[in-house]
Chains A and B, each alone.
Chain A
């Protein structure tokens, strides 16, 4: 173990990487906050993120490096998969847990198939240029904080800005009020003449769109390539973050940063050649997810109509 490498620069690097690694989880979690607040548990996030990662990559690749086009394609893909989850859970009233699993299985398979059909098996995977870092003038010059917070790509800033935006929409708009109400007391909303299904579709589509974008961050915001199952459980971790956050956008940011930190720490410990096998370090984020989930779940107050399909008059 080489502790001589642990310099201030090294620690700043870990914290800066925590934000980057937390970004895809944050994006998916922010959307899932809306989805779950409306009473729907979308466990299809993992599959939707994979589809977003793939379509973001393909869109960028096909347009000769237009990342915005890739991002848009990922967003649309996320919306389509959100609608599919909405159809399963709201219209067909299928058990949401299994419906979400089905979406994850479909997204995993479809992303792999489309990638293979597009590129075949190559020794050198196709690559794209990722969103470049945009250091914010002046702010990025602030010692320590500037490097940690203001030296990222546009997607990272956008995700961070979405946190207060989501908070305002959820707590300070009629739309947000309606979303929270259908998750707590759908009957009351229905008698007010607001469509329970409509609100839930809107919420699950927001969740799908952000999961698609979160997945796209992996391919066009961070790695520049696509590989099978590159999300590696991020979708499920995002659901855990939402429970951890008690369905709040601001606390979701905190949760996403915890997981970003776990991932970043794991990578850093490997470069320090700590006397622990890399396989055990790779387990870290998953172990932390379980520990955190257990820590918060037994006293978390889930939305009252959580995962319950709405039937008028409780028929």
Chain B
């Protein structure tokens, strides 16, 4: 698995096809099974999928909404991949996202009198710090106390959920918000500029693409290489004199910081205030996107876009065709299981 997951240097067209083929088949099977489930329940799968397609790509406006959703999905997948490449199974991206959202909103509201040149970068750094802290807890507990990171990060997700609920109902609640559980709005000068007027697509999308480049460069750097060695084999890494524990904490902080940026983008680009449940299910989505993209920055661009269109289209499908959005979650689950077991099913084709 280590070799499999880290082996992702695309070299030739053959290699690309060998990696793409199982992914495409997995998605096709997932859609097929989803369709059969609908059929068994007396629904029309073709109408459902047509409505899904139309919802994601039916107009320029809808297409920009798909890119709006691609933004956090892509950043979260890059975040998750940092830990996964090091075989640290951090599933807490959702909680780290919320922490980034909380800390950056808090800075924006508390220090609103600061000059913009200072305040704007400060909100960004606060988001990174919030996410990194949350994830760093799990990293330290894993590295030095052997606490299973899947459990700790999953528990931290629930804690972050209730922390957000507490804040928007208590200390950070908008006094003029008609008792809605939400924080006051951040000032207009902090809101991220739109790429196209009349849409919600904003600069955060470019930040996401920038992070793809950063990730690609990072994994080719010597630091990235050393991180991957720790992922490939803890034993070999120790033999090579690498500090395994410190690397585990490092990737955890990296994952959390990146997830925090995703939270920042969502608040400053879309919501403009802290509210609850803005990232429900995005943590597991990020895992599926990262694994489907083979933890490769470019691969994750493609799979993030794919799942963003599924999510945006799935919303439309629920509204227009009356088919539950949860169909998208089932497709996710099938895709991840098939992608994982691909080396079993596709032994011959990739040999």
Task: List A residues at the B interface (Cβ < 8 Å).
Answer: 43, 46-47, 84, 87-88, 91-95, 97-110, 112-114, 116-118, 120, 228, 232-233, 236-237, 239-240, 243, 277, 279-280, 282-283, 286-287, 289-290, 293-294, 297-298, 300
Contact digits for B313-351, partner A, Cβ 8 Å, 1 yes 0 no = 000000000101011111111101100110110000000
Q: A240-B151, A280-B162 are in contact. Are A99 and B337 (CB under 8 A)?
A: yes
Which among A43, A102, A280 has the highest number of chain B CB atoms within 10 Å?
A102
Contact: B344 with A109, CB < 8 Å?
no
Whether the pair A113, B155 counts as a contact (CB closer than 8 A) is no
Contact segment of B163-171, B194-202, B214-222: B163-171
CA–CA, A239 to B147, complex, Å?
12
Interface: B146 (CB within 8 A): yes
**From residue B36, how far is it (CB to closest CB) to chain A in Å?**
12
**B291 interface residue, CB < 8 Å from A?**
yes
B152 and A290 within 8 A (CB) = yes
Given A280-B166, A290-B156; A117-B43 close (CB under 8 Å)? yes
Q: In the complex, what distance in Å separates the CA atom of A113 from the CA atom of B343?
A: 29
The smallest beta-carbon distance between B152 and chain A, in angstroms, is 5
B316 to chain A, nearest CB (A): 16
Q: Interface on chain A toward B: helix, strand, loop, or mixed SS?
A: helix
Report the minimal beta-carbon distance from A101 to chain B, rounded to whole angstroms: 6
B169 touches A286 (CB 8 A): no
A102-B162 contact in complex given A113-B37, A286-B155, C-beta closer than 8 Å:
no
Contacts of B327 in A (CB 8 A): 109, 113
Give the Cβ gap from A146 to chain B, nearest Cβ, in Å: 35
CA distance A287 to B141 in the complex (A): 13
* Given A117-B43, A286-B159, A94 contacting B340 (CB threshold 8 A): yes
Does B8 belong to the interface (CB within 8 Å)?
no
Q: Would A236 and B154 be within 8 Å (CB), given that A280-B162, A283-B162 are in contact?
A: yes
Residues B333 and A239 in contact, CB atoms below 8 Å apart: no
Q: Give the nearest-CB partner of B324 in chain A.
A: A116
Contacts of A103 in B (CB 8 A): 333, 337
C-alpha gap A99/B89 in the complex (Å): 11
